[in-house]
Structure formats: structure tokens, C-alpha cells
Amino acid sequence: MNPVEDTPSVERRYEEAKGLIYHTAYKFWLLYGGELEEYSSIGHLAFMKTVNSYDSEKTKFSTWLRTTMWQMLNDFKDFERGRDDEPLSPRRKGYRDSDKVMEINPTPLLDLLDELDEDGHEIVRLVLETPKELQSLIESEGNTMKAVKPALVVHMKDKGWSGARTGRAFKEIRSKL
């Protein structure tokens, strides 16, 4: 198999990503207002940046595109507001409470945890508070987001869980999301 032949062309990637570009621009517009067309243009620039910086070993193309686009949109909005020293996004350095666009309500996550049985709760806890031995398994599986679930399966097997028990826990988590 030739990896070059398996790599989608830029044109094909663009055709597959157009919907995501417009969807992300729309979501950003809903949150922050502004010019939707401008956000779409930034999305197309983000696409080109993503094509040039994408590493298939680390993440899916769509994930990298959306992350890159969201960062560029935040940078643009910060620049547009003339407040480079006071970023718009709460996840970025320098965020101040006075810049809040919306309050983040942790209640749905807490409700989700309350709805899970003990096994589902244990899986979520391991993801949120990853012990060293699980982190080592994730690293041995490739240290990517795709490596987390297989590492969790091995970890739970080492703790004495059957494959069926682990599968039920994942199925329950998926059904609650």
C-alpha cells in the first residue's frame, strides 16, 4: 500500500470539509455575533493552514481543522475588538471575568455522572483522573485520543473486569451522551 495514494487530495479534503467549515462559522456566529461571511472566509484560511500542518498520527483531519479554525476565529475576534491583551475565549491566557460571554453550567455533566451506574462512573473517573499506569498504557497504544479506549479496555481487564462488563459500561456512557 502506498501512503501517498491513500492520502486524500486537497480538493477531496476540501469537498469533505466544506460543511464543517460553514457549520463551525455558524456556531461561532451564534455565540459571538459579527459577520458570518467573514467567519466562513477565516474557515477557508484555516482549512489551508490545517492541510499544511495536519499529522494523521495525532488526530482526525476534521478535529484538527475545527481546532485550528476555532483558534483563528478567536484571534480574529480579539483583533477586531482591539483587545489583543484581553482574549475573548475563557480558555486562553489573560481571560478576565468581565469578558465572559456566557456562563458555563457544569450541572449537565454532574447530572450525567449521577445517571451512570457504578461501572460507567468508574470509566469516566479514570478518564478525568488518569492514573499513571493507565497513562502508560495510553502511551504504549500510541498516545493519541484513539488510544484511550483500547488502553481503558486493557486497564479494566487487568482490574478483573470482563470484556462484556467493560463493553456495557462504554455502551451506557454512550447512551447518556
* pLDDT tens-digit readout, 112-168: 667 788 888 888 888 777 788 888 888 887 777 788 888 888 889 999 999 999 999
The mean per-residue pLDDT over the stretch 40-64 comes to: 87
Length of the chain: 177
Record the pTM.
0.45
Within 10 A of 105 (CB to CB), how many other CB atoms are there?
8
pLDDT on residue 112: 66
DSSP 23-87: HHHHHHHHHH-S-HHHHHHHHHHHHHHHHHH--TTTS-HHHHHHHHHHHHHHHHHHHHTT-TTS-
Q: Which amino acid does the sequence have at 34?
A: G
Euclidean distance between CA atoms 86 and 26, whole angstroms: 23
Domain count, the chain: 2
Band (5; pLDDT cuts 50, 70, 90): very low
Shared domain check, 13 and 56: yes
pLDDT on residue 165: 93
| Final residue in a domain of this structure, among 99, 126, 141 | 99
Shared domain check, 63 and 11: yes
| Final residue in a domain of this structure, among 99, 134, 161 | 99
Euclidean distance between CA atoms 176 and 140, whole angstroms: 29
SS3 130: coil
* C-beta of residue 78 within 8 angstroms of C-beta of residue 51: no
Q: Which long-range contacts (CB under 8 A, 24 or more apart) does 2-11 make?
A: 10/51
Shared domain check, 79 and 7: yes
| Final residue in a domain of this structure, among 99, 117, 152 | 99
Query: What's the domain range around 126?
Result: 107-176
Q: How many CA atoms lie within 13 A of 65 on its CB side?
A: 23
pLDDT on residue 108: 58
Shared domain check, 121 and 92: no
Shared domain check, 135 and 79: no
Shared domain check, 89 and 12: yes
Asked whether the predicted pLDDT for residue 14 surpasses 60, the reply is: yes
Shared domain check, 116 and 81: no
Give residue-wise pLDDT tens across range 57-112. 888 888 888 988 988 888 888 777 765 454 444 444 444 444 343 344 445 555 66
pLDDT on residue 104: 42
